[in-house]
Amino acid sequence: MNLEMILEYLPVLLPIIIIEWILAITALVHVVRHPHYRFGNKVVWILIVLFIQIIGPVVYFAFGRGEEE
């Protein structure tokens, strides 16, 4: 993969990368601040959010988030 190819796809990839970072940071902040989860524990959700890229934060917000107090 050469530099020209990377620069060609950069306008498409950059917004996706930015959205993924914002979603991951938001999910991590939520995991750290809230003690209640429907499934698993804090360590499991941090690993899921960090290592499963864009799908991990979506899975956390859809299934892992516990009740708000």
Residue 37 DSSP one-character state = B
For 34-61, write each residue's pLDDT tens digit: 887 777 788 888 888 888 877 888 888 7
pTM, rounded to two decimals: 0.72
| The two structure tokens encoding residue 50 | 């960090």
Q: Where are the domains of the chain?
A: 37-64
Q: What count of Cα atoms within 13 Å lies in the side-chain half-sphere of residue 33?
A: 9
Q: Does 68 score more than 80 pLDDT?
A: no
